[in-house]
Amino acid sequence: MTVIDRFLKLVSYETTSDENSEACPSTPNQKVLGAELVRQMQELGIADAQMDEHGYVYGTIPANCEKELPVLGLIAHMDTSPDASGKDIKARITDVYSGGDIVLNEEKGIVLSPKDFPSLLRNTGKHLIVTDGTTLLGADDKAGVAEILSAAELLLSSDKPHGVIRIGFTPDEEIGRGADLFDVKGFGADYAYTVDGGTLGEVEYENFNAASAKLVFHGRSVHPGDAKGKMISAMLAAIDFNALLPENEIPACTEGYEGFYHLTEMSGTVEEATLSYIIRDHSREKFEQRKQAVAAAAEEIDRKYGRGIPVGYAFRRIWEGGHGTRSQHYAGVAFDVGQSLGQRQRTAIYNAARASGAWGYVEPLSQTPTWVHFDRRYGTPACRGTTAGYPTLRRGSRGCYVMILQDALSTLGYQTGNRIDGIFGSRTEEALKGYQRRTSLRVDGVCGCNSWKKISTAVIGIGRTKTTID
């Protein structure tokens, strides 16, 4: 089997990875291709070819000389990018390319042109493998897989002396998880090369630092006829966030060692919008600065748009959850996160929370196996013998607990002013007195233990805003 024949067979397998999946591999079809690769390797004479439970394929070409040589590793990934379809690929070999446009799909008017891709002209005089323009080809990195298998076939059928060569095929590289469960120790290579796309004869020995960032913006939808001072557009917040990043530090404006912020996906409504980025830089120092820039931009958007949103979250999460005044959740400053995430991601959140030092308490994962709990506790609890931090509040008090009280009173129909500001002034005092009067509490305008208990019971199931974390 020639390397081209092998490649054309490999691209017929759909192996698109899925960044939203917590499984490994992220899509089951990757294991289907993995099983085929094991079969082909065994057919070539690689006796120990195997696929582990996570879809990683390994095999060994034994040394054929007595000289002790370093163990060489050859690695390629099986998955294809989720950015475009990898299903029902219609690959074909062109005539010798003479320059000019290549019509991929006449019916749909899809043309591959050197006007758009000048590097295409470097392939003049060669046959090219293309698709019909509606899917990925999958050369990234099934070309590498085919090359490694063909190299293995050549080495196993020749007397050319070589040391031990280890082969590894990985899943989920396109979503940044290809190395997560790779058995580095078991692989046992002294040196390893990734066989991937590039110029013929080129060897790259450097790599960039990379990270991904996903930002979720929460807004407030209000009828446009009554929206002044009330509506918060998550989409506009997302636009403003992107504008805070350097305009020309994007892939379309950078080259060589220049780093960038790459917006890969966006979606949104008034109530919620999402931006996904890839962040890259060769310099470790500049890479860390880029991550800090993203965090700083997020904080700026929080300052501009976030007023009142965390309050609704804190209040609903505490009171609707039925925790009441005995909750570990210190209202407004404690979170349960990760219920929809996998163990690996929860562990990462836990480690980050511990390392930051920003949280006074992080629950051991052994006690919260399906989420991560952390909190920062402020104030003396109004109710004796409780763990919850809801402190006694009165006129002049400030902070997140005042915001929660204002949000609660407003939800119950007692207006504390034009906005939730965290300042316990005359309007908040009168609103609290009105509630105390109606519920037969002591009418003193002080939110102590009994007032918190009444309020916690009254607002269960009423909260106005959607959960923003969880």
What percent of the chain is modeled with pLDDT above 70?
87
Give per-residue pLDDT as tens, 51-70.
999 999 999 999 999 899 99
What separation in angstroms does the CA of 16 have from each of 81, 131, 236, 344, 404? 6, 16, 32, 22, 45
Residue 279: give the domain boundaries.
209-306
Q: Rounded CA gap, 112 and 132, in Å?
A: 10
What's 467's DSSP letter? -
Whether residues 292 and 320 share a domain: the answer is no
| Mean of all residue pLDDT scores within the chain | 86
The answer to whether the beta carbons of residues 308 and 468 sit under 8 Å apart is no
Whether residues 399 and 429 share a domain: the answer is yes
* Statement: residue 295 has pLDDT above 50: yes
Task: Please identify which residue in the block is written with the tokens 């490649």.
Answer: 7
Q: Helix axis angle, 449-459 relative to 426-438, nearest 10°? A: 80
153-159 own/partner pairs: CB under 8 Å, 24+ apart: 153/1, 153/44, 155/61, 156/44, 156/45, 156/46, 156/61, 159/64
Task: Please identify which residue in the block is written with the tokens 């991601």.
Answer: 345
Give per-residue pLDDT as tens, 175-215.
888 988 999 999 999 999 999 988 888 888 888 888 888 89
* Four-residue CA torsion sign, 354, 360, 364, 367: negative
Asked, for residue 128, whether it belongs to a domain, the answer is: no
Whether residues 176 and 54 share a domain: the answer is yes
Whether residues 217 and 259 share a domain: the answer is yes
Give per-residue pLDDT as tens, 340-365.
788 888 888 888 888 876 666 788 88
The arithmetic mean of pLDDT across residues 282-291, rounded, is 91
Give per-residue pLDDT as tens, 300-344.
887 787 543 333 333 444 443 444 444 445 444 566 777 778 888
What separation in angstroms does the CA of 285 have from each of 151, 259, 261, 279, 298? 39, 11, 15, 13, 20
What's 374's DSSP letter? E
Give per-residue pLDDT as tens, 410-459.
877 888 887 777 789 999 999 999 999 999 999 999 999 899 888 876 76
Asked, for residue 418, whether it belongs to a domain, the answer is: yes
The total domain count for the chain is: 3
Q: Rounded CA gap, 345 and 22, in Å?
A: 9
Sheet holding 361-362, edge to edge: 334-337, 372-375, 361-362
Asked, for residue 448, whether it belongs to a domain, the answer is: yes
Read off the pLDDT band of 386 (50, 70, 90).
Answer: low
DSSP string, 64-131: -SSS--PPEEEEEE--B-TTS--SS---EEPSPP-SS-EEEETTTTEEE-TTT-GGGGGGTTS--EE-
Catalytic hit among 147, 153, 173, 336: 173
343-346 own/partner pairs: CB under 8 Å, 24+ apart: 344/22, 344/180, 345/22, 346/370, 346/371, 346/372
Whether residues 8 and 153 share a domain: the answer is yes
The answer to whether the beta carbons of residues 59 and 46 sit under 8 Å apart is yes
Give per-residue pLDDT as tens, 39-56.
999 999 999 999 999 999
**pLDDT at 264 (0 to 100):** 92
**pLDDT at 377 (0 to 100):** 61
Whether residues 319 and 395 share a domain: the answer is yes
Q: Rounded CA gap, 80 and 78, in Å?
A: 7
For the record, the structure tokens of 428 come out as 């908040």
> Comparing 348 with 73, which gets the higher pLDDT?
73
Q: Identify the top-confidence range among 263-267, 349-353, 460-464.
A: 263-267
Whether residues 236 and 327 share a domain: the answer is no
Give per-residue pLDDT as tens, 364-379.
888 778 888 777 666 6
Whether residues 449 and 314 share a domain: the answer is yes
173 counts as catalytic: yes
Whether residues 178 and 84 share a domain: the answer is yes
Read off the pLDDT band of 467 (50, 70, 90).
Answer: very low
Single-letter amino acid, residue 463: G
Asked, for residue 14, whether it belongs to a domain, the answer is: yes
Task: Give me the CATH number covering residue 397.
Answer: 1.10.101.10
Whether residues 328 and 181 share a domain: the answer is no
Other C-beta atoms lying within 10 Å of the C-beta of residue 32: 14
Task: Give me the CATH number covering residue 213.
Answer: 3.30.70.360
Whether residues 260 and 316 share a domain: the answer is no
Backbone angles phi, psi at 444, to 5 degrees: -120, -5
* Statement: residue 85 has pLDDT above 90: yes
Q: Which residues pair with 362 in a beta bridge?
A: 374
What's 320's DSSP letter? I
* Statement: residue 464 has pLDDT above 80: no
Whether residues 169 and 232 share a domain: the answer is no
Q: Determine the 3-state secondary structure of 225 from DSSP.
A: helix
Q: How far does the chain reach from its first CA to its final CA, in angstroms? A: 52
For the record, the structure tokens of 268 come out as 């949104």
